[in-house]
Structure 1
Amino acid sequence: MFFSPSSNCVFLSFHWKMPRNGCLCPSLIITFSLAVFFQSQMIIRSLNPCLEVIPGITYKCMELNLSAIPPDIPNSAQSLDLSFNPLGILTSNYFSPLFALKFLDLTRCNIQNIEDNAFAGLCNLSVLILTANPLHFLGARAFHDLTSLKRLVAVQTELYSLDNLPIGQLTSLQELNLGNNYIDSLKLPEYFSHLLFLKFLNLQANKISSISVGDLDALSSQNLTLVLSKNDIKHIEVNAIAGLHLQKLSLRGCFESSTIMQASLQNLTGLYANSLVLGDYRNIKKLQTFSKGILDALCHMRLQEITLICTNGDVDNTDDLSLCLNNFSTIRLVDTYIKDVSNFPENSSIRHLEFKDSRFRQVPSVRLSSLKELRSLHITRTKQLVEFEEDFQGLQKLETLDLSQNALTADLCWLCLRKGVPNLKYLNLSFNVRISLEPECYGLPKLEMMDLQHTTLSGAGELPVFLCLPNLIYLDISHTHTNIQSECTFCGLKSLQVLKMAGNTFENNQLLNTLKNLSSLRILDISNCRLQYLSLNSLASLHELRELNISHNKLLGLHPEAYVHLQALTILDFHSNQLSVLTEKDLQNLPSSLKNLDLSQNLFDCSCDNLHFLQWAKENRNLLRHVENMICHSPKHLRDARLMNFDLASCRVSTATVAISMSISVVLVLSLILVYKYYFHLYYLAVLLGGRRRSAEEDSVYDAFVIYSSRDQEWVRRELEETLEMGVPSFRLCFFYRDFIPGVPVITNIIKQGFQSSRKVITVVSSHFLESRWCNFELEVAQSWQLLDSKASMIWVVLDGTDKAVLQRKLGLFRYLRRNTYLVWKDSELNRHIFLRQLRSALLNG
């Protein structure tokens, strides 16, 4: 800023406030707070190492080197997995704070002692797993309070005797698994008579070598499943199991020779059991030979089902088996070497026949046609089975045909099946090589379920191959390399309720009107079908649909308008698509019947623009499934963060924040206005303060800097410049018109050349001075300079004729002159002499 010499007065008024000592910088406070926060989070994480699967309910704490229960596990927890932690000893009331527990896994926790009342308070516990703990001591009341326990697993716990297991008070126990221990006797202690609900007793791989009369007398439960497999049984006493009604008896790998096995089975005469399991394990072959007579003792047992596993290659035809097998309703032959089937007797009682892991090359349809009572036929997991000729003859009662997990390549003949098995209801051809279907009009009218998954399906998708299956309820063609091209693909399936076709494709990756004929459909799986577009009418006819799986596609939006007709929909699986957000309209149009919605593994946008959806997701957590897998994809700084952990408050501006922001905005606006109006004065302040810091280091060049009105310049030159500079002593005065440096801002000249380089300031007050705005401005600058620099001194000269009324109106100057001595100039020789003497004296002072 520059001003002209005719206006040689400058004004500045300011207040200077120094910052308080010791005041913390805001950025330092923020940094310190963040450091404290992250440190506290790390401490909390170190105290909370467990995985919270379901908040407040399910916790997994495996392999964390814990020696006690983590203190952060809430008392609402219902499932706790502490496996692979060195707990050592379970003392009294060890788990009492977790009174809501229903499931507790203590596998491999090196537990050696369980003291009395260790599980006190766990009245709701249903499952307790103690697998692989060296239980050397069990208190008599070790399992006290476990009144609801239904399943106890104590596998590989170095248990030597059933008498050492204090479980008599577990009256709700249904399953007891004591496999892989050192129990050498089947003699059940008296406390077993209190286990009224026991349904499963597993003593597999112990040291039991004999079964005697009376060993099982304490069993009060009927229909018990008793597993004695992998015990080296050498002798079974006659009538040892007489009177018992077992659900299942498993004796796999129990006999080291055919002789012992035959003798033992003979002594089981009179056995009542729904199921008997005999044979070896693939990796443990005790029986070196297998003869037809070994199983003759089965004729004297009352069995419903017999399972024979692994006969070591001695059986390659059903003729090698005992005729007694024809007396049983269910025959299961697993891992045998049977290659062919002989004709069964006309009076055979077999209703359910299963061959698993056999050596068939083709389905023995004709040979099996003699089983007139056959209801269910399973030939599975036979990799040599490649041919299927549908030449069954008169199996009027066959309802289930399972040929899954083979290597079949066949052209399915609906008419052939209709002639041979007219009442077939369930057909499973899944996990084969290829099945070809033709659009025949002679289907299976009673077929209700058909499974073709993971078998290449020829014909479907292009032709209506299901036309004559009016009663089909369940159809699975998942992963069959089917490309749906025809709108009539599912024509004829008017009763279909379940359709699974995951892993296939639709023409142009669009779902249009393919499903329009399935008005009775209740469950639909079209996941992993590469879908990119879903027409609004594609699901319009599915009024009965309850469950829809449309996951693992490439859909960009949920578009609830497509589901508006699905008033019965309760489960919608939309995970692993490309959904970024549900709009407010989308949320309003979701089916009101919806109870289970899976939106996990989508590309969620967690920005504040989608606050409504983010808030809805948190409020409807019970509706959503797998929320732990709802991960933010954008914005970049939130990528891979859990959506449920999003801080909604970060998007909401509080009232205080609004008030502060508005206040700051107002202050900024006012500041800008003031700066614009007084920018000259602010610039002067900067120069003034800068000049003050350097003034102490510089010597005074002038004796006085003269402030006056330009209209009094003649008087100043005559009475001050000529008199003082040419007189004795000689004074050097600073005048703007003479001593200011050209090209330099006026403010800088006033400070540097005027105030900063002068010992004194002479102010010439006149009527012209009082009337000039610039002179008043320069006067206040001089007063400001005097306040900043204690060495500065002002000499006031009031000219004769100055209007005192005007002087009084200038209250600041008038009050100053009333409190301080000043010089008065009068135009007379005597007064002039006195004035000059006083002025020189004032200039010489200091």
Structure 2
Amino acid sequence: MFTFLWVLTTIVTISNQECTVRQPTICCTNTSPETFLYDFLRIRSSVDEFFRHYNLEITNSHFVHIHSFLAPLPANFTLKKFALTDSLVEFIENGAFENFIFTSVLVLSNNKLSDISFVESLPTKLQKLYLDRNEFKVVTNVFSHLTELTYLDLSSCRISNIDPNSFSGFYNYISINVSNNQITSFDVLFRDGLRLQLDLSFNNIKYINCNDREVYFRGLNASYNKIESVVGTRCQGCGYYTREVTNFIDLSFNDLSNATYLSNLNTFTVWNLNLANSHIDMNFNFEILRLTKGILDLSNNNLKRVRPAMFGNKIEFDSLIMSNASISIVHENAFNNFGMLESDAFNNFGMLESGTFHILNISANPITELRNYTFNYCKIRMVDLSRCSIQKIQDNAFSGLIVTNTLNLSNNNITYINKNVFRNLTEVEIIDLSFNILKKLDNNLFVNCAGLRFLDLSSSKIEVIRSRTFAGTNSLSELYLQNNFLNRIDFQSVNLLGVVNLQNNAISDLEFSFFYSLSARTLLLTGNRIGSLLNNSAILKSYVKEIDSSRSSINSIETNAFQGLVNLEILNLSHNFIENILAGTFVPLKKLLQLDLTGNKMVSFSGEAFAFGNQLNKLGLTFSSTDLTSDTFVSLNYLKVLNVSNSNLTTLQENCFRGLIYLDNLNLQNVTISKITPGAFNGLESLESVDPHPLFKKLKTLKLGIFMGLSKLHALDLSRLEISSVGSGSFIGLKNLDKLLLSDNKIKKIVNNTFKGLHSLKTLNLSTNQISTLEADAFLGLTSLLELSLKDNNLTKLVLGTFQNFPQLQIMNLSKNNINKLLTGTFSNLKSLIALDFSYNNITKLEIHDIMSLSNLRNLDLTENHLIQMDYLNLIKSLRKLDFIGINGNKWKCDNLVSMLVAFQNYSVNWMSTESVTFLDENIDGIKCIDICNFFYCV
């Protein structure tokens, strides 16, 4: 039982003016000491039954001086977190919280506190203390009793002085944040063995002195300072064979060019060391960084050059970032022995694969030449030389990169590559040479790169690729050559490529025979100047599965252009200038699944243009002033998606979709059709939905059999099409239709048998037309109809028998017509009707025999008629299920209205409505009435 009640409170919010409760937190805003206690007591009484552990948060309030904070709590309640933020607090008395016990977290952020002495009396079990964004200038030793504190936030205050003993009481682990202050030196005492994460960023610190204490730094952020010295820190336990590894040291955005005492950095076994943007030049003692184990970041400095043994003979770090460091010269043997580690101590912790240098990033430097043996005797996985100014690469520059996986040379000025440059990259999988000035690629350029999978040569102004340029690349799967100046394809590949991207080149008059030497599965040719697809003279079968030649200025396709492409599955020829498709053009494409010809201007094509098998399931076409005939799609028996958007079709002839028995998606967006012949949709027996608006935007009349063939259609929206006439039998064939919308048209008359054949129809909307006539058999056959709307038309009378065929009708809307009289029997045979809306008509009198057959009626709306009298007593006695009747806006006499409402009340019939309510005239419960004694003498 109690568990169930607790779960309920997690989704219930209790509110009382300034205080709101949402388990497990009570939140109070815009309160003060004078009003808080009252608000809290009222809230507490609402939640006592459910809460045992909760938080209290007060924000945007007014607590200037706190002498003693009161929030009476039941004895068995535990307050885990107390937050008083943005509340203008200037002073807290010692012992202010002694009667208000919180166990874990105290948040006093963004106030105006300047005296920190109150901390001495805080609960000893406190774990996290937030004092950030206050006005403290001095920090003293007020934390010594907080032995379980793990997080202390003093950031964004005005601190300029920290007493050396302020943090001496902490032991085990503590994270201290004093960033964004005005500290000039950090000279403090820590307990030996303390595990410390310290944030000193955004101060003016020149000196960091831990007074010769053995501190295990988990993290030290001293970025954005003026660091000159880090001394007095012993980290003997941070050694090579322990788990005590400093996660990071961040000294970025300092000026270390004149730093004199940084030697203590060599006592840290640090995982990530960030010295970026620190004005480091070649005079810096790089050997003090010897114990860096992970990433060493020297980016955005003034290094000028990289020399041999720059970091000593033993390199421990596994990644080096020297991007944008003003390096113009990289000496021979500069990276000798990178990755050649002697120790594998870190393997025991799963931290680093011994003997492998992961990342060398020297990108965005003004390097113009890579010299021989630059990477001699090294094991580097990824080398990034992008965005430099490299023009020349000497033959043996990469001779030592025997385990390199990725080489990035993009965005340089390389004009020529000798065939020997990559000969030692036997393990390389990715080479990026994009955005260079290569112009010509010689034979055997990658001959020893047997593991190469990804090669990017895009945007490199290449004009010529020799036939054997890619010889030896037995594993190549992706080749990117887009945005170059290639006008012909002469090169070959030695394996089955996955993707070849030749987009935006200058290829013209293309013969697809080159596919056979290229052996690619996906070929991208978008944005070329192909012009004509020529006959293919090759005999061999191609493995290509996808070709994209969209937007390639293709204007003609010869009959045998696709000869041999027996494995092709996807062909995109969209947005070209193709007007004609010859017979047999696609016949060789036995496995084609998708064909896109949209964005062309198809004028004519042979009836056998698509006679190439039954595999095609997606087809896109754009026609220009074309008739669709019975032979257009006859061969496409397995087509599921047909896109003819943006087409101009003159006529949909009878049976023009013949053969499309499995089509379930027909896209007619922005199609213009001048004429639809009845029977045009024959064959679309699987189509379940279609947007008819493009079909009928020019056709104002629906004729017999116009929808024949759409037997699976479930919904048809013909609203807002300006349809003026609907003929008898217009919807024959729509045997599964359950929703038909004809609203917002210009229909004036519903003739007999209009909806013949719609045996499954459940919803029919004829609202907002100009209907003035309903013939007696207008709705014949709608035996399943549940909802009928004739709202907002011009009906003045209802012919007897009009609604006789609606045994299941539940909702009928006849509002906003001009009906002035109901004939007896109008609503006969409507045994299932539960809601009848007859509002906004002109009837003056309602007799019981007019509606007594509606035995299940629950809702009757007679609002805004001209009713003067109504046989209400017999009405509510006969319609025993009636629970609402709308009678506002009529011409009731006040005394009659009183009697009527009393009767409704006695029989539990509701009459209250917001429709046509008036309180400015004589009324009862907002229902206007007339007191005749105002006009005649009453005795």
The interval holding the TM-score normalised by the smaller chain is: 0.3 to 0.5
- Larger Rg, first or second structure (1 or 2): 1
Q: What TM-score, normalized by structure 1, do the two folds share?
A: 0.41
Structure having the larger proportion of residues in strand: 2
RCO higher in structure (CA 8 A, sep ≥6): 1
Q: What TM-score, normalized by structure 2, do the two folds share?
A: 0.38
Structure having the larger proportion of residues in helix: 1
